[in-house]
Amino acid sequence: MYKNKTPIIIGSDHAAYPLKEKVKKYIIEKGIDVKDIGAFSEDSVDYTDYGIKVASSVSTGEFERGILLCGTGLGMSMVANRFNHVRAALCNDLFSAIMSRQHNNSNILVMGGRLIGDGLAFEIVTAWLETPFEGGRHQSRIEKFDTISG
């Protein structure tokens, strides 16, 4: 289980709105609080705006972890990884989700609503919530992220 059950911040654009709603319900049913920052319909919006909201909240530490969804997951992951301390992982498969936790200590999970079905998305979310970071040699590697500028 997701040990500390700290609240999750979630956001999507219009393309992934249906999957975001299902993922949100799935997480709430696990007993984890979710802050949903939109989008709230399938009306066209800019994924950038929603990615900024979630990633900035994780970057400042207001939320420990977040989930972002857009059509492919590409735009959201590009936006989110602009923020300090954010390690956003685009995971449209289970293995990536597990490894992103074990080796990269990912703190934002990104998925593509136009790429994966509900069942796989739920499996990915569960793996991402429950898989611990291994630390050790991976700790010093991820610490170098925050020294990068340019």
Could you tell me the smallest distance in angstroms from the CB atom of residue 75 to ligand RB5?
Answer: 3
Stretch that binds ligand RB5, among 59-67, 71-79, 80-88, 117-125 (CB under 6 A): 71-79
Exposed, middle or buried, 76 (CB in 10 Å: 0-12/13-18/19+)? buried
Q: Interface mask (CB under 6 A) for ligand RB5, residues 73-112, using x and -? A: -xx-------------------------------------
Which of helix, strand or coil describes residue 88? Answer: strand
85 is catalytic: no
Write the CB contacts of 14 (distance below 8 Å, at least 6 apart in sequence): 39, 41, 42, 43, 44, 45
Return the residue of 47, 63, 83, 128 that touches ligand RB5, per CB under 6 A: 47
Strand-pair category, 88-90 with 34-36? unpaired
Return the residue of 13, 39, 100, 121 that touches ligand RB5, per CB under 6 A: 13
Q: Active-site positions?
A: 70, 103
